[in-house]
Amino acid sequence: MKTPVSEYLAEILDGVRDHDGGDVADYIRELAEADPERLGVCLSTTDGVIYGAGDIDVEFTIQSISKPFAYALALAEHGRDAVLAKVGVEPSGEAFNELSLERGSGRPLNPMINAGALTTHALIGPPGSSAEQRMELFRDGLSRFVGRRLEVDQSVLDSELDTAYRNKALANMLRSYGIVQDAPDEVVRGYTAQCAIKVTLRDLATMAATLANRGIQPETGERVLSVPLVRQVLSVMMTCGMYDAAGDWMSTIGFPAKSGVSGGILGLLPGQVGIATFSPRLDEHGNSVRGVALCRRMSDDMGMHIMSGVSPARSVIRRDRVLRAPGGRLVRICSLQGMIEFSGAELVLRELSDQERPLSRVVLDLRRVTGVNDVARRMLREALRRLRLDDLDVTVVDPGDMIGEVGDDLPDLEPGVQEADDLTQFSEHRRV
């Protein structure tokens, strides 16, 4: 059998090939000459398997898709609060090249508009760093997301610098407000180089998968961003990533994404998959026409909208029996299954609280549990503690160590709670 994922991708490519609206960016020659029919889509699983269709190995400049990654590097270097002091996280409702500074402070509203991206770039490396030094730091950081050494398109960089008046205006304005402290022209040079890094769809999908994989690069296994910062980056992508069409994107497609003027879109479903599309025809917001169509199709087909919610986890309790032990005592055996999050744990606790018969023992069977998140783990452990306080014998069957993993802030399992590997000890018990 051949996996149908690639065929699916090829099929949806065909589905958008007749969208001939939009135009390639034309403010520099290199972009204006891009082939408008270039088209590709690429997925990367969180363990690094790549699926693609179309032009997934063609290089193009990363442009604004560099913004969330520069933001990630700045967050990693300075911490969330220091970065927030310079760049906000509020959507601006304005085009990417508007000033959009917070009244009074002069702080750019978010790091996805150019003013915010320039500010973010200037936070990479120590004050006074040269454009080359910042560029190297950024390239090193980005390469860790990608897993290969990336290069700058010198021709695009030169052309961009020739016409970077608007960014120079923004950088000087930011300097006048004291938001940027370095020389504005140097910041623009470095930022422009950041945007001129060449990537392929394969690279973008891998970068996206790294974010989807909670910051761990799927191939190298390297943690390139901490979990809280991944969350910060994705939050800003979600509300500010698609220029002034962020709300429309949220309501129709609904996964965090970032687009670039060269025609790329990078998106992802946290915990699931990284996505990248490429088609240089842009709509009036500066987003790739076919790329948006591809993302919409994938979101619809694959249920990727972040607000879809997973199906209500009603079946987390696989079985809940009260057995009579040979000596006559009553034993309750509650078997869980699947992924347990808050609502699943709540259900378990609710059931365990609702006990009319005088039990002497409770067994929690976690053998079929595939995962437990933090809150659910706390809740289950708290339940075990309370059952124990009720003078019950408590046993947890947890060969996968689902709730036993001890974090910094979690006590060991309560004394008195036994652990077991299987339920064979209860084979003699009878159903009541």
Q: Which of residues 269-288 bind its own copies (CB under 8 A)?
A: 269-273
* Binding region for its own copies (CB under 8 A) out of 56-64, 120-128, 147-155, 268-276: 268-276
Binder of its own copies out of 58, 95, 293, 302 (CB under 8 A): 302
Binder of its own copies out of 59, 77, 90, 393 (CB under 8 A): 90
Rounded to a whole number of angstroms, the CA Rg of the chain reads 26
Catalytic, 177? Answer no
Contact in structure between 365 and 321 (CB atoms under 8 Å):
no
Q: CB of 304: closest distance to its own copies in angstroms?
A: 7
Catalytic, 243? Answer yes
Q: Which of 66, 67, 288, 299 is catalytic?
A: 67
Binder of its own copies out of 31, 72, 234, 364 (CB under 8 A): 234
In degrees, rounded to 5, the angle at the alpha carbon of residue 33 between the alpha carbons of residues 31 and 37 is: 95
Contact in structure between 53 and 214 (CB atoms under 8 Å):
no
Contact in structure between 207 and 147 (CB atoms under 8 Å):
no
Catalytic, 51? Answer no
Edge-to-edge strand list for the sheet holding 264-269: 50-54, 40-45, 273-278, 264-269, 257-259
Tokens 């990533």, residue located: 241
Binder of its own copies out of 11, 374, 419, 422 (CB under 8 A): 374
Q: Which is nearer to its own copies, 36 or 270 (CB)?
A: 270
Q: CB of 290: closest distance to its own copies in angstroms?
A: 21
Q: Does 307 bind its own copies (CB under 8 A)?
A: yes
Query: By rule CB under 8 A, what string of x and - marks binding of each residue 93-132 to its own copies?
Result: xx----xx--------xx----------------------
Of residues 379-418, those binding its own copies (CB under 8 A) = 379, 382-383, 386-387, 389-390
Rounded-to-integer distance, Cα 256 and Cα 249, Å? 9
Length of the chain counted residue by residue: 432
Three-state DSSP class for 365? strand
Q: CB of 337: closest distance to its own copies in angstroms?
A: 6
Residue whose C-alpha is closest to residue 69's, from 168, 188, 187, 191: 191
Q: What is the DSSP letter of 216?
A: B
Catalytic, 191? Answer yes
Rounded-to-integer distance, Cα 285 and Cα 187, Å? 25
Q: Does 420 bind its own copies (CB under 8 A)?
A: no
Q: Which is nearer to its own copies, 139 or 175 (CB)?
A: 175
The DSSP secondary structure of 1-54, one letter per residue, reads: ---SHHHHHHHHHHHHTT---SB---SSHHHHTS-TT--EEEEEETT--EEEEE
Catalytic, 67? Answer yes
Contact in structure between 414 and 351 (CB atoms under 8 Å):
no
Q: Does 316 bind its own copies (CB under 8 A)?
A: yes
Count of residues in contact with its own copies, rule CB under 8 A: 102
Residue whose C-alpha is closest to residue 199's, from 326, 316, 65: 65
Binder of its own copies out of 154, 155, 251, 425 (CB under 8 A): 251
Of residues 330-369, those binding its own copies (CB under 8 A) = 337-339, 341-343, 346-347, 349-350, 352-353, 355, 368
Q: Which of 41, 187, 261, 369 is catalytic?
A: 261
Q: Does 78 bind its own copies (CB under 8 A)?
A: no
Q: Which of 243, 262, 348, 369 is catalytic?
A: 243
Three-state DSSP class for 332? strand
* Binding region for its own copies (CB under 8 A) out of 148-156, 300-308, 413-421, 423-431: 300-308
Q: Which is nearer to its own copies, 197 or 237 (CB)?
A: 237
Rounded-to-integer distance, Cα 97 and Cα 175, Å? 17
Of residues 203-232, those binding its own copies (CB under 8 A) = 212-214, 227, 230-232
Binder of its own copies out of 303, 322, 324, 404 (CB under 8 A): 303
Q: Which is nearer to its own copies, 198 or 214 (CB)?
A: 214
Of residues 26-45, those binding its own copies (CB under 8 A) = 45
Binder of its own copies out of 198, 223, 305, 324 (CB under 8 A): 305
In degrees, rounded to 5, the angle at the alpha carbon of residue 206 between the alpha carbons of residues 204 and 212 is: 105
Residue whose C-alpha is closest to residue 63's, from 189, 164, 198, 187: 198
Hey, which residues are catalytic here? Answer: 64, 67, 191, 243, 261
